[in-house]
Amino acid sequence: MLRALFVRLICYFTVIFFFTGAQSSFAGYDYIDITNPFLRKIPVAVSSFKTFSGNTAERQVALKTSDLFSSMLEFTGYFKMLDRAAFLEDPHRSGITASNIKFHNWTSIGAELLITGLILKNVDLLEMELRLYDTFKGKLIVGKRYKSKPGDQRRIVRRFCSEIIYHLTGNKGIFNSRIAFISNASGHKEIYICDFDGYNPKRFTFNNNITLSPAWSSDGRWLAFTSYLKGHPDLYIKNLAQKRGSVVAKKGINITPAWVPGKFKLAATFSFSGDQEIYMLTGNGKITKRLTVNKGIDSSPSFSPGGRRMAFVSKRSGTPQIYIKDFRSGNVNRLTFQGQYNTEPNWSPRGDKIAYSSMVGREINIFVIGVDGGNLTQLTGSSADNESPSWSPDGSLILFSSTREGHAGIYVMTAYGTDQRRLLSMPGVQTGPAWSANIN
Amino acid sequence: MQKRLWINLMFCFILPAMLFTASCSKKVVSTEPTTDQMAEGDTDQLSEVTDVVVVDESSVAESDLMEAEALAAQEKAAREMFVSADIYFEFDSAVLASSAQDILNLKAAWMMKNPGVSVIIEGHCDERGTSEYNIALGDRRADSAKQFIVDLGVAPERLTTISYGEERPLDPGNNEYAWAKNRRAHFTLE
């Protein structure tokens, strides 16, 4: 089944490099400064895509696709999308390749990057040519041609967005990632899964009971979570594609799963010993090792990208605080010293920072702290409760839940706290977002 | 503390009230042997014996019933109290306050008196704090209640715990009054 899909995908996405310069242009990643990319957004013009035949149906698809392109790129927080009404040139008429583009028409309206597209759509084929230009250098940065079945616009646009981000930053971005979250839209808290941008939320669990804390394996194939399906908070480990998995139902609580990056292993909190402690499990749900030894609550593990260290919550000092355990030395160090209630650590995929939530006064807010304890930064504030931070796979964005509009909903912001916006609108209450890696 | 006072008051009122009804019915029986209470006894037999003896016998029989009823009512009240009396906690704490300990003492006594009963202790939290941590905290709350009762001599197998964290608030309000009500351990009979 999977294999067949894979073969089909290869057939569909006959991707052709038609410009060899593509390789040399991203040598320095000098477009986006990834150490502080959101201070200055890059002005980009997404022209309305040219159509092959020019018929109305194709025109509509072209317009929708270029809009989709704009919104996906804007989602990253790196870009300032220029208003099409201000464009001096219409590549729809003039042409979509460097020889036909008058780049000064783009630099003069402030565009530093230009995206052009050509779409061919008929009943059984969707073909798209997409190009990203550096307008000042008048040079193609990346160009690709995609062939697929009609209706695959989103997938193609996601692919090319990944290319763009790869050429500008050196990593693959977020476009093939997914988001799991909790919603009580059905009357019970259940897990839903949507695209990286909140598109197409689909219900994943049908437990008709409280379901919480979704956690993705780093290959995106497994989801672990807690559910009261059998009346108790038990741990479920599910394969997303196949209907299989395991249940860990120890006496007491079975909560807060977190996968070890790159491994079929996860940590979770159990209280069968009489105390809430973190243990390591195989992906099949077999407990292999106890990771914390301390009277009082230890919970909510989150691993460093290499899996050598683990951040977690402990009440060993009297209040819940974030600690880091180093597996090689066995040392445990306290990370947070400000505030009386610091929980929900989430280790950045870039490795240098940990996001967590902190209760100060009557508000809970999201903070980011360096792994060495430095650079403590508050990212949210004056907007009711903001909880459950989860980093995007490239470490550029953070998902969280917020009650700023009344009922809790899922929101997203940049790693620096800018561009805070709602991810999706759904009936009921949405909490506990978890961002997956890019899933191929 | 308040709960205990209330229970004591209840007994102060209910028991004398019952005694009072018993003494009233004695008179009713002696003059009019066809009341409801008489119907419960053997009316044929009563009509054949002398008045004085009837009064004595029926009054003895009736006071037995009253005692049984009073006992049943008392047991029912105790059972209801066992289920309805929650114990409360401070924010981010699973420590048993003295008021909570008073209630747990009563609960333990009741469990000792009712050896066939098994109990589920639910640990709950207020909505403040984060949901994962609150499940751990609710677990500790339920467990400290369990340990207290076990220490008083109840077999640990008779008590299971379950933490709901902040998932099942009693009062959905967003204020200290509601939060205080929600930081609780609740008992149900298995």
Q: Is A401 on the interface with B (CB under 8 A)?
A: no
| Cα separation, A294 vs B7, whole angstroms | 41
For the stretch A273-276, contacts whose Cβ atoms lie closer than 8 Å and that sit 24 or more positions apart, written own/partner, are A274/B143, A276/A252, A276/B136, A276/B139, A276/B140
* Rg for chain A, CA atoms, rounded: 23
* Rg for chain B, CA atoms, rounded: 23
Q: Is A331 on the interface with B (CB under 8 A)?
A: no
Asked if residue A56 lies in contact with residue A124, where contact means CB atoms within 8 angstroms, the answer is no
| Residue B136 to residue A189, Cβ atoms within 8 A | no
Q: Residue A414 — φ and ψ, nearest 5°?
A: -75, 165
Q: Does domain B87-189 have CATH number 3.30.1330.60?
A: yes
Residue A154: its H or E element = helix A153-169
Tell me the pLDDT band of A93, cut-offs 50, 70 and 90. Answer: confident
* A185 has a pLDDT exceeding 60: yes
| Cα separation, A85 vs A305, whole angstroms | 44
pLDDT at position A30: 56
| Residue A359 to residue B143, Cβ atoms within 8 A | no
Strand partners, A236: A225, A247
Looking at residues A205-222, what average pLDDT do you find? 96
A399: closest CA among A339, A342, A355, A351? A355
- Those of residues 288-307 in A touching chain B at CB distance below 8 A are 297, 299-300
Residue A278: its H or E element = strand A277-282
Q: Is A277 on the interface with B (CB under 8 A)?
A: no
Q: Which residues of A touch B128 (CB under 8 A)?
A: 359, 362, 364
- Those of residues 247-276 in A touching chain B at CB distance below 8 A are 252-253, 255-256, 269, 271, 274, 276
SS (H, E, C) A340-351: CCEEEEEECCCC
Q: Which residues of A touch B139 (CB under 8 A)?
A: 252-253, 271, 276
* A84 has a pLDDT exceeding 60: yes
Distances (CA, A) of A298 to A279, A334, B170: 10, 13, 27
ipTM for this model: 0.88
| Residue B135 to residue A232, Cβ atoms within 8 A | no
* B46 has a pLDDT exceeding 90: no
Looking at residues A285-303, what average pLDDT do you find? 96
* A11 has a pLDDT exceeding 70: no
pLDDT at position B57: 53
* A183 has a pLDDT exceeding 70: yes
Q: How far is B137 from chain A (nearest CA, A)?
A: 7
pLDDT at position A121: 86
Write out the DSSP string of A102-152: -HHHHHTTT-SEEEEEEEEEETTEEEEEEEEEETTTTEEEEEEEEEE-TT-
Cα A312 versus chain centre, distance: 21
Q: What is the pLDDT of residues A135-182, one digit of tens each?
A: 999 999 999 999 999 889 999 999 999 999 999 999 889 999 999 999
Domain ranges of chain B: 2-81, 87-189
Residues of chain A with pLDDT > 90, as a percent, come to: 77
* B17 has a pLDDT exceeding 70: no
Tell me the torsion sign for CA atoms A248, A252, A258, A263.
negative
| Cα separation, A208 vs B159, whole angstroms | 26
Q: How far is B90 from chain A (nearest CA, A)?
A: 13
Q: Which residues of A touch B137 (CB under 8 A)?
A: 297
Looking at residues A22-41, what average pLDDT do you find? 56
Count the alpha carbons within 13 Å of A310 in the hemisphere toward its beta carbon.
Answer: 28
Q: Are strands A265-270 and A254-259 parallel, antiparallel or unpaired?
A: antiparallel
Minimum CA–CA partner of B122 in chain A: A232
pLDDT at position A96: 81
What's the mean pLDDT when you consider all of chain A? 90
* A312 has a pLDDT exceeding 90: yes
Give the residue from A271, A292, A402, A407 with the most B CB atoms within 10 Å of its CB, the best one to mutate: A271
| Residue B131 to residue A300, Cβ atoms within 8 A | no
A397: closest CA among A113, A261, A196, A224? A196
Please give the sequence-ordered ranges of beta strands (E in DSSP) within B24-127, or none if there are none: 87-88, 119-124
Q: Is A359 on the interface with B (CB under 8 A)?
A: yes
pLDDT at position A15: 42
Q: At what angle do helices B51-84 and B2-31 cross, to 10 degrees?
A: 160
Q: Is A165 on the interface with B (CB under 8 A)?
A: no
Q: To which residue do tokens 């690709």 refer?
A: A144
Looking at residues B14-37, what average pLDDT do you find? 43
Write out the DSSP string of A178-238: EEEEEE-TTSS-EEEEEETTS-S-EE----SS-EEEEEE-TTSSEEEEEE-TTSS-EEEEE
Q: Which residues of B touch A276 (CB under 8 A)?
A: 136, 139-140
Asked if residue A260 lies in contact with residue A253, where contact means CB atoms within 8 angstroms, the answer is no
Give the residue from A191, A269, A297, A385 with the most B CB atoms within 10 Å of its CB, the best one to mutate: A297
Q: How far is A192 from chain B (nearest CA, A)?
A: 18
| Cα separation, A23 vs A13, whole angstroms | 20
Tell me the pLDDT band of A440, cut-offs 50, 70 and 90. Answer: confident
| Residue A432 to residue B131, Cβ atoms within 8 A | yes
pLDDT at position A401: 97
- How many pairs of residues across A and B have Cβ atoms under 8 Å apart? 72
Q: Which residues of A touch B167 (CB under 8 A)?
A: 189, 210, 212, 228
Q: Which residues of B touch A430 (CB under 8 A)?
A: none
| Cα separation, A31 vs A79, whole angstroms | 11
| Cα separation, A284 vs A281, whole angstroms | 8
Of B130, B162, B164, the CB nearest to A387: B130
Of A252, A300, A362, the CB nearest to B139: A252
* B13 has a pLDDT exceeding 80: no
Distances (CA, A) of A299 to A320, A398, B91, B129: 10, 21, 18, 14
- Those of residues 190-219 in A touching chain B at CB distance below 8 A are 210, 212-213
Torsion of CA B138, B141, B146, B151, to 10 degrees: 160
Asked if residue A219 lies in contact with residue A393, where contact means CB atoms within 8 angstroms, the answer is no
Minimum CA–CA partner of B94 in chain A: A296
| Residue A297 to residue B136, Cβ atoms within 8 A | yes
Residue A332: its H or E element = strand A332-334
Question: Which tokens is B143 given?
Answer: 């467990």
Q: Which residues of B touch A256 (CB under 8 A)?
A: 132
Look at residue A66 and give its three-state secondary structure. Answer: helix
Q: What is the pLDDT of residues B143-180, one digit of tens each?
A: 999 999 999 999 999 999 999 999 999 999 889 999 99
- Which one has a higher pLDDT value, A194 or B37? A194
Count the alpha carbons within 13 Å of B140 in the hemisphere toward its beta carbon.
Answer: 24
| Cα separation, A300 vs B119, whole angstroms | 29
Set out the domains of chain A in order of their start, with CATH numbers.
12-169 (3.40.50.10070), 178-435 (2.120.10.30)
Count the alpha carbons within 13 Å of B26 in the hemisphere toward its beta carbon.
Answer: 18
